[in-house]
Amino acid sequence: MILREIAHTRSGDKGDTSNISVIAFDPADYELLRREVTGARVKVALGSMVQGDVERYELPQLGALNFVLHRALAGGVTRSLALDMHGKCLGSLLLSLEIEGRRR
Amino acid sequence: MTGVKTGGGLAGQDSTRKVRIGCGAGFSGDRIDPAVILAEKGELNYLVFECLAERTIAMAVRSRLKQEDAGYDPLLVERLGAVLPAAVRNDVRIVSNMGAANPVAAARRTAELARHLGLGPLKIAAVTGDDVLPQLRAKDRPLLDAAGTVWQWSGDLISANAYLGAEPIVEALAAGADIVITGRAADPSLFLAPLVHEFGWAWDDWARLGRGTVIGHLLECAGQITGGYFADPGVKDVEGLAKLGFPLAEADSDGGAVLTKVAGTGGEITLATCKEQLLYELHDPARYLTPDVVADFSTVRFEAAGPDKIAVFGGSGSTRPEKLKVSVGYREGFVGEGQISYAGPGAVERGRLALAIVKERLARLDKDILDLRLELIGLDSIDGNAKGAPPPREVRVRVAARMRSHEGAALVGREVEALYTNGPAGGGGATQCTKPVIAVVSTLIDRAEIHPAIHWELVA
């Protein structure tokens, strides 16, 4: 299955740093998210768009993960030539990530 | 809506008292109707408008340079003109950063507007002191988010604004302001200030300041917590988006709150919309830095409390950052852009040929080019890694370049337009534009170097 089946995302920007929250629809799927959606996998999934490191923060009480993507916005909204200069679409792209496992 | 109402120092007087704060705008171009509904039916004590993006203030400074009494939010009159009658009638105090680069002129214009509408008496406060360009010109300092120092842009500096906190806003409210207009202030501080004022929270009560900041952060993007920026048909359906309502929080003296919206408006407030908004533009959840506090979002929880009602619990904070963040705007050349479409079989190949042609023709401007981007909208403009996807029926060529000169930037769009008769078959719908680049970087400033002050405009 793909991530979209068990979680929703929202993207935000600050300077050249993007963040993507990944939130389980059902908190019971949080452990599956935690296991499957690692910082390394997020970096691979977004490929060359993310030039820097990816950090992951865990929010078990929300059933959510927060990814911080460094150097991911082509210099930041004020300088970027990207069509989506805020990286607003990054979270939606991540929803196609393949997830191994069974939802609760 | 006149005179001094509840002052500070009320903590403990009535622990069950609630303060209702609405958010009437989440960005400068936001819809106006939802704020009117909030002022009319929200039973609010405060209505806050967050209208100042990172770069907006640099653009506003440029307007002010051209015209002394300009530089505030271009929709100020339209927005407050629509909202003020109901706000005054219902005793709703207003806080906004619509002052942008000229809070004093914004306050003066608001006073004129109130007189024109026959509203009053009103006390309007403008908060100044965020403009720190003189301080930065006097002393260089390192950049926060890039290598180098502020002075590397010294010839091109446009603006420098420190993020002020809740303190000067609270001072204005304590002095009886009905309307407080700021320039650059941290977004959550606009919401925290009424809570500090109403509940008399101490400036070192980090836990409550942290929870108040959580409330501000949840509200500050207006429709983004009521179902805007959320709908995904079939997966996350939202009813009534066309008449999306804006949020309000009913906060208590401990910094807890219930988030809701006016009954009958579109959208929804659910656990899911609240979680998305809590984590929006967040980095380390345990360390959300504002001028008022280092807020800790990592322990925030939500509980459903009824239809479109979510209770927020938890959250905390620790000692505020020693220094304040400064947003520095500077000129960095010009952007030129051109687009043209190709459709039908072979659309992608013709689009790629078009990009190659423009790239070769622009090579003569090599020394002028700071950055160049060539892509096909519909194929790889958003997702730079879309390999192996089925070819789309249509693509749109997009060439964008950041150039040193305006002339060079203008040539980018002209070369794309020239594809009509000098490029692949069937190019259609060419468009072009140029614009100056106002880039923004950040630095830090000592609190001792800034001097917030309040300017008053009184309407009899």
pTM attached to this predicted model: 0.95
For the domain covering B328-442, report its CATH number.
3.30.70.100
B52/chain A closest Cα distance in angstroms: 14
Cβ of residue B35 closer than 8 Å to a chain A Cβ? no
Q: Quick check: B172 and B189 in contact, CB under 8 A?
A: no
Phi and psi of B452, rounded to 5°? -65, 145
Residue of B nearest to A89 (CA): B382
Most B CBs within 10 Å, among A9, A21, A44, A89, to test the B interface: A21
Question: Cβ of B275 and A23 within 8 Å?
Answer: yes
In chain A the domains, ranked by start, together with CATH numbers, are: 3-94 (3.30.70)
Question: Cβ of B282 and A19 within 8 Å?
Answer: yes
For every residue of B70-108, which 3-state class applies, written as one string? CCCCCCHHHHHHHHHHHHHHCCCEEEECCCCCCHHHHHH
Q: What's the CA gap between B214 and B220, in Å, rounded? A: 10
Q: Is B351 helix (H, G, I), strand (E, B) or coil?
A: helix
B11/chain A closest Cα distance in angstroms: 30
Cβ of residue A18 closer than 8 Å to a chain B Cβ? no
Q: What is the pLDDT along chain B (460 residues), one digit of tens a residue?
A: 443 344 444 444 577 899 999 999 999 999 999 999 999 999 999 999 999 988 788 889 888 888 989 999 999 999 999 999 999 999 999 999 999 999 999 999 999 999 999 999 999 999 999 999 999 999 999 999 888 999 998 889 999 999 999 999 999 999 999 999 999 999 999 999 999 999 999 999 999 999 999 999 999 999 999 999 999 999 999 999 999 999 999 999 999 999 999 999 999 999 999 999 999 999 999 999 999 999 999 999 999 999 999 999 999 999 999 999 999 999 999 999 999 999 999 999 999 999 999 999 999 999 999 999 999 999 999 987 767 778 899 999 999 999 999 999 999 999 999 999 999 999 999 999 999 999 899 999 999 999 999 999 999 9
Residue A14: HSE in the Cβ half-sphere, 13 Å Cα cutoff: 17
ipTM: 0.97
Spatial CB neighbours of B351, under 8 Å, sequence gap ≥ 6: B342, B376, B379, B395, B396, B397, B424
Question: Cβ of A16 and B400 within 8 Å?
Answer: no
Domain boundaries, chain B: 19-129+164-321, 328-442
Residue B425: HSE in the Cβ half-sphere, 13 Å Cα cutoff: 5
Question: Cβ of B384 and A93 within 8 Å?
Answer: no
Q: How many CB pairs under 8 A join A and B?
A: 110
Window 227-286 of B, Cβ < 8 Å to A? 229-230, 232, 235-236, 272, 275-285
B420/chain A closest Cα distance in angstroms: 22
